[in-house]
Structure 1
Amino acid sequence: MLNQEIKNSIEKSVLCWLATADNENMPNVSPKEVFTFYQDKYIIIANIASPQSVHNIMQNPNVCVSFVDVFVQKGFQLKGRARIIKQTDSEFESLEEPLLKMTKSKYPFSMIIKINIETLKKIIAPSYMLYPDTTEAEQIEDAKKQYLSK
């Protein structure tokens, strides 16, 4: 399910946004810095400081993860069901390995959010649709001007 285009997009993204909801459907969205793909159908996220996300997933496993390259202004929205993997779980060590490489062991975490991806769709900035001749190079240049001028 996670093709090379999606994997490349994940690798280029600095943050992802994890949307969860509790058992009363109250939403919560929070940024996650340490995340990657695992095999071809999972997203894994290190739980560094996300008690509300964990609490919500324990009540309602349906989640959405979004990530966008801020310069190209393209990315993906992935939906699926999440599980909390604790250090005591048998699969923790294998899931932990790619996340530790990312953090260089600087961020301690004792839980991993593992999301089984069920659906996905592209995220594309409206400017690509409003101005079909827009190139990624132009989008990057415009984004750099906007971000660097602030």
Structure 2
Amino acid sequence: MLTQEIKKYIEKSVLCWLATSDEENMPNVSPKEVFTFYDEEFIIIANIASPKSVHNIMKNSKVCVSFIDVFVQKGFQLKGNARIVRKSDSEFEVLVQPLLKMTKGKYPFANIIKIRVEKAKKIIAPSYMLYPETTEKEQVESAKKLYNAQE
């Protein structure tokens, strides 16, 4: 399910957005800074400060994760089922390793949100569709100017 292209965009993305909904189907979207892929079908997210996301997942496991490369303005939307992996769970020690590598131990987290990806859809900025001749290089240059940034 997680193609090399999806993995590439995960590695290039600074944040992802996790969408959950509670038992009354009230949606909640929150940014997550520490996330990566695990194996070929899972996204793992460090629960640094996400009590609402965890509460919602306990009530409704269906979630959506989105991420983009902000310069290229392309990425993916992934849908699936999530569960909370606690420190006491046998798989925690394996799953925590790539997340600890990312945080260098600077951000403590109590548990991990593990998402089995079931559907994937590309996210592409509308400018690519409105102006099909747009190249990724042009998009990057435009984004750098707009945000006064350097890649």
> Normalization by structure 2: what TM-score?
0.98
* Paired residue type of 1:97: Q
1:63 match: 63
1:52 match: 52
The 5 Å alignment of 1:14-25 reads 14-25=14-25
CA deviation string 1:19-64 (max 9, x = no partner): 0000100000000000000000000000000000000000000000
Deviation at 1:100, TM superposition (A): 0.3
Gaps of 5+ in 2: none
The answer to whether the aligner puts 1:11 opposite 2:11 as a matched pair is yes
The 5 Å alignment of 1:100-139 reads 100-139=100-139
Q: Secondary structure at the match of 2:31?
A: strand
CA deviation string 1:85-138 (max 9, x = no partner): 000000000000000000001100120000000001000000000000000000
Distance 1:26 1:114 in 2: 21
Distance 2:4 2:103 in 1: 23
2:42 match: 42
* Paired residue type of 2:80: G
* Paired residue type of 2:140: I
1:79 match: 79
Distance 1:57 1:26 in 2: 12
* Equivalenced residues, count: 149
Task: Detail structure 1 runs of 4+ shifted over 6 Å in the superposition.
Answer: none
Q: Secondary structure at the match of 2:145?
A: helix
Distance 2:54 2:147 in 1: 32
CA deviation string 1:63-92 (max 9, x = no partner): 000001110000000000000000000000
Distance 1:60 1:5 in 2: 29
Distance 1:51 1:110 in 2: 11
2:27 match: 27
Gaps of 5+ in 1: none
Q: Secondary structure at the match of 1:14?
A: coil
Q: Secondary structure at the match of 2:48?
A: coil
Once the two structures are aligned, what percentage of the paired residues are identical? 76
Distance 1:97 1:46 in 2: 11
